[in-house]
Amino acid sequence: MKLSSTERKIIENSIRDIKDFPKPGIIFKDISTLLNNKEAYGVLMNHLYQRYKEYNLDYIAGIDARGFIFGAALAQMLGLGFVPIRKKGKLPYTTISEKYALEYGVDEIEVHIDAFSEKENARVLLIDDLIATGGTANAAAKLVNQAGANCVEACFIIGLNFLEGQKNLKETTEVYSLIEVN
Ligand code: AMP
C-alpha cells in the first residue's frame, strides 16, 4: 500500500529543510516539525499501520535515535514488541555488533543478542527516519539477520535518491521510503 498524493503532501510539507547542518553542503531533513504537527504525524502513523498490519510481523526494530520514535509508536499500534538498534556502548546486556563506513572513519551499531529470541526466524521490520548512503541501515539489517531473525523490509520516512543507499540496501532486504528526494 502506497501513500495517496494528499497524504504525501501533508507529510512532505511538515518536514523542515535546514541548510548547512551539521556541516556545509548538507541539507538536513528536520522531522521534529513533522512530530510537532499532529495532522502530519497522524497521517504518517496511520499509513504505516495500514501498510504493515498485513505483513505478519513479529517485531519492529528502530535505528538509534529517530527510528525509535516511529518504530516504538508503530510497534504499539500493531501490538508488537520493539527492539532498539543502538550506537556502540549503549546497550547493557551481551550484544552483537556491526561496523560500517562513514565519510571519514567507521561507526558501529549493536543489538542485544537475545532481542528476537522469543520466536525462531522472527519477521522484523526495520525503521529509521531517513536513508542517505545506506551504511547505517545496511549494518542494521545485517544485525537483525545475524541475531537469528529475518529483516523482511526496511522503511524510511525519507529516501535520498541522489545517493546509492536504497539501491545497495535492496541486496539485503526490501526497501520502502514514503518520501523520495531527488
Ligand atoms: P546513512 O547511513 O548515510 O544512510 O545515514 C543515515 C542516518 O543519518 C540516519 O539515521 C539519518 O537520521 C541521518 N542522516 C543522514 N543524512 C541526513 C540528512 N540529510 N538529514 C537528516 N538526517 C540525516
Residue 65 has which C-alpha cell? 535515535
Gyration radius of the chain over CA positions: 16
Measuring CA to CA, how many Å separate 154 from each of 41, 61, 78, 85?
Answer: 19, 9, 16, 13
How many angstroms is it from 135 CA to the middle of ligand 1? 9
> How many Å apart are CA 135 and CA 142, to the nearest integer?
11
| Domains observed in the chain | 56-181 (3.40.50.2020)
Asked if residue 1 has pLDDT above 90, the reply is no
Return the ligand 1 atom nearest residue 132 CA: 4
**If DSSP codes are grouped into helix, strand and coil, which group holds residue 149?**
coil
Q: What is the mean pLDDT of residues 158-171?
A: 93
Enclosing H/E stretch for 27:
strand 27-30
> How many Å apart are CA 98 and CA 33, to the nearest integer?
31
How many angstroms is it from 79 CA to the middle of ligand 1? 28
> How many Å apart are CA 94 and CA 146, to the nearest integer?
14
Strand partners, 103: none
Does ligand 1 lie within 6 Å of residue 179's CB atom?
no
How many angstroms is it from 58 CA to the middle of ligand 1? 26
- pLDDT band of residue 11 (cuts 50, 70, 90) is very high
What pLDDT score was predicted for residue 103?
76
- pLDDT band of residue 162 (cuts 50, 70, 90) is confident
Asked if residue 102 has pLDDT above 90, the reply is no
Q: What is the mean pLDDT of the chain?
A: 96
Percentage of the chain modeled with pLDDT above 90: 94
pLDDT tens digit sequence for 45-97: 999 999 999 999 999 999 999 999 999 999 999 999 999 999 999 999 999 99
